[in-house]
Structure 1
Amino acid sequence: MQDYPTCELRAMFRAGHSQFWEVAEKAGILPGMGLKLTYLEGTDDPREAEDALFSGKIDMICGNHITPYIWVARGKPIVCLASPSNAVQNRVVTREPVSSLAEFKAKGLRIADTSLISSKGIAGHDRLNHILDVMRQGYAEGEAEWIEVGAAGERGAGPELQARLFDAVRTGKADAAFAGRARREEVQDLHVLELPELPMINGTTITASYEALHKKEGLAERLVRAMVETIHFTRVHPDEAQRLLDVKDTRPYSQHGERIESITRSPIKPYPSPEGVLNAWELSRMRYEDAQAANPFALWDMHYLRELDLSGFIDELLQEEPASVQEQCARGFRRVGGAHLFAHNSTC
């Protein structure tokens, strides 16, 4: 890799997406590329992260997925460089077994969920995903009746809210409720329906601005390569990677730990899926009028990852991985149907 001058790296993360960069720094991947991580802080509000990015306080955001399309439409130099997670799958609970939420269509679906608008005054990504989940079950936008039980946090509904969701179904107030991360033993008296996988940009995207990238030589190339090397490192050295996350020491940034599985399950070639991009933009245009004018793919600059891919570097890393790791983690490009498109601005 080309030698670059050493520079500081400052970042903010959303929804707990700090693991990638903690491992990258502690494993020596970032230092080896001349990047000194000095700031890594979380926020529940995408507006705070974007203000910090555009003001030059930080170099990147880990995890903003919906609001960037607003800035594309407004002509801001925001850009995404990689997406290591491109789908989600949700569950609902019902009193009687059903094979689809469409079975409630004749009577009208009443579905319990957390509040659309959080205490921060914005809609959470998980909650917005649920709207697409219901529409993909055959409902028009606004057709289902939503029974809101309270505002969830950045990491989803806590135990108290989950209990309210399940009680809404048990008492007949709702026909179904989104189950979140509930364990099956918590809902033994209810029936769990796994909804189809929803293509969706999520997880630790590399979101930056061209202004920030141009201030530090080779920053985009270094960030993309660091993400790829970090995925490889956690696959080959999972125990060491978890140990690094578990240890809290005197480093200058906040250390949050968590589990490495969110990294190891990432594709080592972290391209965004086209369906995932379209669905993320769809959620953005549903909430923000400005985003309707954005071309969803204008946000994404893949040439840094593509150049690294064409160099053969990523394939060389794959060849270094034991056969058992390759078998467990290897996943080629897979087209997943389900970009849920609606009427939109013809300029797209």
Structure 2
Amino acid sequence: MLTLSVTYRDVDRTPYLFLLRDCAKMRGLDLEIVRYDMSRLTSGPTGHDWGDLLIDGEIDVIAENYWGLQSYRARGLPLVCVASTSSRWLEKLLVGPGIRSIGDLRGKRFALRSPGPQALLPQLWAADIGLGSSIEFLTYSDREYGRMGHWRKVLEGECDACFVTNLYADDALAAGLRELPYEPYPFEGGTVTLTTTEETAAHRADAVQTLVDSAFDASELFRTDPARVVGIMRSECAELLGEHFGALDETRLIRLQEILRDELSDQPVPTPEGVSIARRIRLGSAPELQRYNPMIMWDLGFARRAIEKRSSR
């Protein structure tokens, strides 16, 4: 049987990854899914240096967001991405009293969550819609306010708005914040991006192709077979997810599956707009990306073959 080791950091990824493992097994690929101890890495939870795990051959695939990994490719190191499960910003815009439209954010305070892209992307979004210079951004750390807890600063009136990841928005809405719709905003690789090395992609091409084929299967099954996904969550993910969500009953598991389902792209293939934004959010802290073409990091030959095989079924 073909084998690949796959590592991840965030337990929120486990419903998709464990379904991916099941799909891969049905295709003859054994995926060893390993949660990595990020405390080993000097960059902390953003993962700016955990591409070393791939370069050193300690693992075969990273199944996480990839925005911090771009620096490896920009420096000439041979990392490649082969699939991405979502190509848009997966956050709800939550507001306090008095905010009825996007224009009402002008001159207001906006709460940012640190660490992660949530500390950077809202500022880029605001600039792109013409509000950047008029909004005051205040950053709040998870270490101080709890995971995704920055929304409480809006509830308390210290800020007027914030983005909150879809999985964590229900509590904020129940507490009294209101969702303000906004136009979809591209962002590549905010959930599971499959990143490996050129050597693995070339010398273990059969395994990587099967991995990508399985990603197409998993993205489809997440939408079409919710009972199967909830079953995996119940039997394999509940304890891990409990680290972030507490004890999970059946109703809560179904709700989490629905949220994750709605975040997935129809196919695990990136968009140029999403890839561009993933580069732009790091330009201020990663000068090596200034002259870097982010499309170089993507090897979509595996996805093309997966699409060809699925279209001929």
SS state at 1:194 partner: coil
Deviation for aligned residue 1:277: 0.9
Counterpart pick for 2:16 among 10, 16, 20: 20
Distance 1:260 1:54, change over 3 A: farther
* Matches of 2:234 and 2:178, distance apart in 1: 36
In structure 1, runs of 5+ residues without a counterpart are 1-5, 119-123, 317-348
* Matches of 1:296 and 1:91, distance apart in 2: 28
Deviation for aligned residue 1:235: 3.7
SS state at 1:87 partner: coil
- Give 1:223's aligned amino acid: L
Work out the number of aligned pairs and report it: 283
State how 1:19-168 maps to structure 2 within 5 Å.
19-25=15-21, 27=22, 29-42=23-36, 43=38, 44-47=45-48, 49-88=50-89, 89-100=91-102, 102-103=103-104, 105=106, 108-115=107-114, 118=115, 124-140=116-132, 144-151=135-142, 156-158=147-149, 161-167=150-156
SS state at 1:18 partner: helix
Bigger radius of gyration = 1
SS state at 2:84 partner: coil
Deviation for aligned residue 1:149: 3.4
Deviation for aligned residue 1:314: 4.6
Bigger fraction of residues in helix:
2
Counterpart pick for 2:221 among 233, 247, 272: 233
Distance 1:255 1:49, change over 3 A: farther
* Matches of 2:105 and 2:30, distance apart in 1: 54
Q: Spell out, residue by residue over 1:283-336, the C-alpha distance to the aligned partner (whole angstroms, 9 max, x if none).
A: 12233111112102111111111122123x2563xxxxxxxxxxxxxxxxxxxx
Distance 1:283 1:152, change over 3 A: farther
SS state at 1:12 partner: strand
Deviation for aligned residue 1:207: 1.2
Q: Spell out, residue by residue over 1:127-161, the C-alpha distance to the aligned partner (whole angstroms, 9 max, x if none).
A: 22211222133134x663222333469x9513xx4
TM-score by length of structure 1 reads 0.71
- Give 2:64's aligned amino acid: G
State how 1:167-246 maps to structure 2 within 5 Å.
167=156, 170=157, 173-174=158-159, 176-178=160-162, 180=164, 181=169, 182-187=171-176, 192-201=179-188, 202-246=190-234
In structure 2, runs of 5+ residues without a counterpart are 39-44, 242-252
TM-score by length of structure 2 reads 0.78
- Give 1:37's aligned amino acid: L
- Give 1:112's aligned amino acid: A
Task: Determine if contact 1:19/1:256 at 8 Å carries over to the other structure.
Answer: no
Deviation for aligned residue 1:227: 0.6
SS state at 2:50 partner: helix
Name the Cα RMSD after superposition. 2.9
Task: Determine if contact 2:111/2:140 at 8 Å carries over to the other structure.
Answer: yes
Distance 1:148 1:31, change over 3 A: closer
Identity of aligned residues (%): 20
